[in-house]
Chain A
């Protein structure tokens, strides 16, 4: 018998699977649509990629084209294009992970053929601030509760994320992966008893 689906698996946490909680996404998308060069800044695991996907979704709802460059740790880049009217918004998720030449190339491309530039970074790159991501206890509990509600699982309590968040130095993604382990262990213990 299979264990119940784990609400904290990558496929439920990855950017795009969850809405970003706490930011005025539509307002941010409207600001981007008007043009400019923007940055979303925040520490690891605080939702920069998730917010980026939410903004791209809102731009799509407004029929704005987007070209997204996702920079992988190790150097690879995945390019995704979504259709829409006019020049695309040029988005770089992982601006810190490309070198100065790469950052200059994206800035130039954005100037030449794009409606706007949006980048995510851990430290400011001197662009107009669009949003600063941060995780507090209330947000962490809210996201955890949302994941548990979606899966229908009661094996983990939402407030259990708080200890994991402390242990992970405020990195919510890593804290949720700790809850993956806790959920998996409890699901198997429960299955063994029945």
Chain B
């Protein structure tokens, strides 16, 4: 069985649980699986945002957005590879919520733009706060 090819772009949050509380710091990192000699990348944009999801009109709000020069991704300090990342102090609201009609989803998104106009994107969800999903806190 052959190994899966590397993903063109991967975005990650710094906790494997992907759970955060308001006021905590969230660190977002990205990894490019593209060979810069073949596909030079002009820039990578990282976004931290939330959106509502359900049957109605959606709301989307961006709380942080930054551009990175991917060529800086290989700078090293003390023998370690240091990649650019975005650090955000998370706001108090809105908390993640898993309702029947509406949900609040937090996510980080990375978009990589090649010099020739091609682009790639990746998204990773995370949770802010610990509101019980709809139905779990109803009285009997």
Contacts and interface: CB of A to CB of B under 8 A. Distances in A.
B43 interface: no
Given A11-B58, A184-B100, A6 B133 contact: no
Interface string B98-125: 1010010000000000000000000000
B135 A188 contact: yes
Contacts, number: 34
Interface string B52-89: 01111110000000000000000000000000000000
Interface of A: 1-3, 5-6, 8-11, 177, 180, 184, 188, 191-192
Contacts of B134: 188
B133 A9 contact: no
19 contacts: A2-B103, A2-B127, A3-B133, A5-B53, A6-B53, A9-B54, A10-B53, A10-B55, A10-B56, A10-B57, A10-B58, A177-B55, A180-B54, A184-B100, A188-B100, A188-B133, A188-B134, A191-B133, A192-B135
Nearest to B98: A2
A94 to B, nearest CB: 15
Contacts of A10: 53-58
Interface centre among A180, A184, A188 (most CB of B within 10 A): A184
A182 to B, nearest CB: 12
A10 B56 CA distance: 6
Nearest to B60: A11
A177 B100 CA distance: 12
Nearest to A192: B135
A184 B54 CA distance: 10
Nearest to A72: B57
Given A1-B133, A3-B133, A184-B100, A11 B51 contact: yes
List 8 tightest A-B contacts by C-beta distance, closest first.
A2-B98, A9-B53, A177-B55, A184-B100, A180-B55, A188-B135, A10-B58, A11-B58
A186 to B, nearest CB: 12
Interface in B23-67: 51, 53-58
